[in-house]
Structure 1
Amino acid sequence: MTDITRNTDREQSDQRLGQLLLFILPILMCSNMLAAKVGTDIIPPIAMAFWRWTIAFALMCLIAGRPIWQARHQILKEWKDLTILGALGMGICGAFVYLGAASTTATNIGLIYSASPVLIILLSRFFYGERMFGRQVAGVALGLAGVMIIIAKGSLQILAELQFTAGDLWIVAATTGWAVYSILLRHRPTELGLRTRFSGTILFGMLCLLPFTIWEGITIGTADLTWKTVLLISFVACLSSVAAYMMYAKVQLLLGASKAGLVLYLAPLYNSVLAYLLLGEKFEPHHIAGAALILPGLWLATKSPSKRK
């Protein structure tokens, strides 16, 4: 067998593996949204975020302990950026989802969060002056309109009187935090590798969450240490945090960034179906109307501009 044949077989094998992972990854990504709804009666929201990322950091140390230790001086050197990223990615994006889950549905969480790439493009234009093409402007407008339909439950009266569900507003704030986190992650300079930067971000995110976790424990109370609590936190830490991150990186490596972006379209659909099957949530008309705007808006906003000769 020639080298060319071996390389072709390997490429085809990588493509098949990447395509398989592409359909598994959305399950890992939306598992956090489903777990957020399940955990509302089991563990306080900030404690949920703190212990989720504590376990995730322990797992990252097992996976990449030596590179993390070798990069400790650079991690300390970049502590300001890592603190901001941790506060956004592990604090706001983590705790706010669990706070919102107390008064909104997992379906709403998934659909609102699916508009985050649209918001990333809009904020990139505002903060960094990145160029927006006509189709991206249209995509941003459609995506934001879809989110408004969902949080207003399709009612013009709710929209006019600004009577939004508190949970939906928490999720909007979390989505905005994720957009800012993603922009800073791309634009802020770093000498750390992907895994070491991710681990450093988790570490400083835990430190940001710690005082709020203590305050929550004093004022509200702590969760009972039961098998349900341990299982839920471990589930989110392993699947929604470490496994989702590593699988997404693998899909990007095998299929490229553009094809890996297809997961953005699949995740809200997976989330809605799983919320219906596992949590008994109904898919209301305003969900359909919102998704009918968000998903095309997402496609328009993230589609690469055509190259002319």
Structure 2
Amino acid sequence: MSERQLALALLLIAPALFCSNMLTARATHDLFPPIALAFWRWFATLLLLMPFIAAALWQHRSAIRREWRDLLILGALGMGVCGAFVYIGADTTTATNIGLIYAASPILIVLIARFAYQETVSPLQSLGIALSLTGVVAIICRGDFGVLAGLSFAAGDLWVVCAMIAWAIYSIMLRHRPSAMPLMVRFAAIVGGGVLILLPFTIAEGVSGDLPPLNTTSFLTVGFLALFASFGAYQAYGLIQRTLGAGPTGLLMYLIPLYNAVLAFLVLGEDLQLYHLVGAAMVLPGIYLATRKAAA
């Protein structure tokens, strides 16, 4: 199999790898403390990366020392907030909601780039932003916009919204903060920063009495997340982007919430509600319109 054929195959597999995190978050919400799950997931991912990247990390140690503030902030956003907040939110919301809310992150990326870096936004992009954000609100409100007056949102959805905002800021920082490190070296250094940020919160969570059980399920959960949702997903994304380019890679943002909804139905028994369909009907075309300029 050629690299291109592998990339095309992974284009169909990668969305399942990415949404496996959302499905696992919901499946284990009452089995594993959320901050500990984020910490051990990324610690295990760092261990998986070490055989491939340890020598390069040592070679770029001067750059790591210079960029340590960025690495800690990126780690806090990408591994801390985007990890732990999703797991906290999964206690009171569905995997389907998590996937659809997260799908709107490209919209926030466009907005942040517009206001922080003066990137232009066309009228068509503005329409896409408005459409997608309306879809997210529809999902959060469970199709009842009357809850806006009473501000009676599900706590889990708000945790996921915070994680989605953190992911947008993380993505913008990756694009606009310069680095002397190659992509994989920087990613490993960011994971290390995220592990350091999560460590004291994990200890505090454990001291409060919320400790992960030491059983087969716990080890399998952490191993699954590290191998598939972290290491496998990011490696697949990198290969697809390098081989097929930005256009086909952009399909992932449309496929992930669709895969997530179907797998949540098949694996977790979640029902698709009308507000999910209405929200998706606004979010997905909105993403297309809002990111059309970047893909052109």
Range of TM-score over shorter length: over 0.9
- Alignment pair present for 1:200 and 2:212: no
Please report how far the alpha carbon of residue 258 of structure 1 lies from its aligned counterpart in structure 2 after TM superposition.
1.6
| Aligned 1:254-293 pairs, distance under 5 A | 254-293=243-282
Which one-letter code corresponds to 1:170 in the other structure?
W
Structure 1, unaligned runs of 5 or more: 1-9
Which residue in the other structure is 2:35 paired with? 46
Which residue in the other structure is 1:299 paired with? 288
User: Aligned match of 1:179 in 168, 181, 186?
Assistant: 168
- Alignment pair present for 1:55 and 2:44: yes
Measured against aligned partners, the alpha-carbon deviations of 1:201-258 in whole angstroms (never above 9, x if no partner) come to 0111111111110110011321111000000011001111111111101001111012
Measured against aligned partners, the alpha-carbon deviations of 1:249-305 in whole angstroms (never above 9, x if no partner) come to 100111101210101100000000000000000000000000000000011111137
Aligned to 2:285, what secondary structure does the other structure show?
A: helix
Structure 2, unaligned runs of 5 or more: none
Which residue in the other structure is 1:169 paired with? 158
Please report how far the alpha carbon of residue 51 of structure 1 lies from its aligned counterpart in structure 2 after TM superposition.
0.4
User: Aligned match of 1:249 in 226, 229, 238?
Assistant: 238
Q: How many residues align?
A: 296
Which one-letter code corresponds to 2:145 in the other structure?
L
Which residue in the other structure is 1:6 paired with? none
Which one-letter code corresponds to 2:133 in the other structure?
L
Taking only the aligned residue pairs, the percentage that are identical comes to 50
State the 4+ residue runs in structure 1 displaced beyond 4 angstroms. none
Which residue in the other structure is 2:70 paired with? 81
Which residue in the other structure is 1:36 paired with? 25
User: Aligned match of 1:230 in 188, 210, 219?
Assistant: 219
Aligned CA-pair RMSD? 1.3
Q: CA, structure 1 residues 286+63, in 2 after alignment: closer, same or farther (shift >3 Å)?
A: same
Measured against aligned partners, the alpha-carbon deviations of 1:82-115 in whole angstroms (never above 9, x if no partner) come to 0110010011101000000000000000000000
Q: CA, structure 1 residues 55+274, in 2 after alignment: closer, same or farther (shift >3 Å)?
A: same
Aligned to 2:293, what secondary structure does the other structure show?
A: coil
Which residue in the other structure is 2:198 paired with? 209
Please report how far the alpha carbon of residue 18 of structure 1 lies from its aligned counterpart in structure 2 after TM superposition.
2.1
Q: TM-score, normalised by structure 1?
A: 0.93
Aligned to 2:146, what secondary structure does the other structure show?
A: helix
Structure 1: distance between partners of 2:200 and 2:295: 49
Q: TM-score, normalised by structure 2?
A: 0.97
Structure 2: distance between partners of 1:107 and 1:279: 10
Structure 1: distance between partners of 2:138 and 2:224: 32
User: Aligned match of 1:152 in 130, 141, 148?
Assistant: 141
Aligned to 1:304, what secondary structure does the other structure show?
A: helix
Structure 2: distance between partners of 1:305 and 1:276: 33
Which residue in the other structure is 1:20 paired with? 9
Measured against aligned partners, the alpha-carbon deviations of 1:153-199 in whole angstroms (never above 9, x if no partner) come to 00022122111000000000000000000000100011011111001
| Aligned 1:93-108 pairs, distance under 5 A | 93-108=82-97
Which residue in the other structure is 1:140 paired with? 129
Structure 1: distance between partners of 2:175 and 2:215: 40
Which one-letter code corresponds to 1:108 in the other structure?
N
Which one-letter code corresponds to 2:52 in the other structure?
I
Aligned to 1:156, what secondary structure does the other structure show?
A: coil
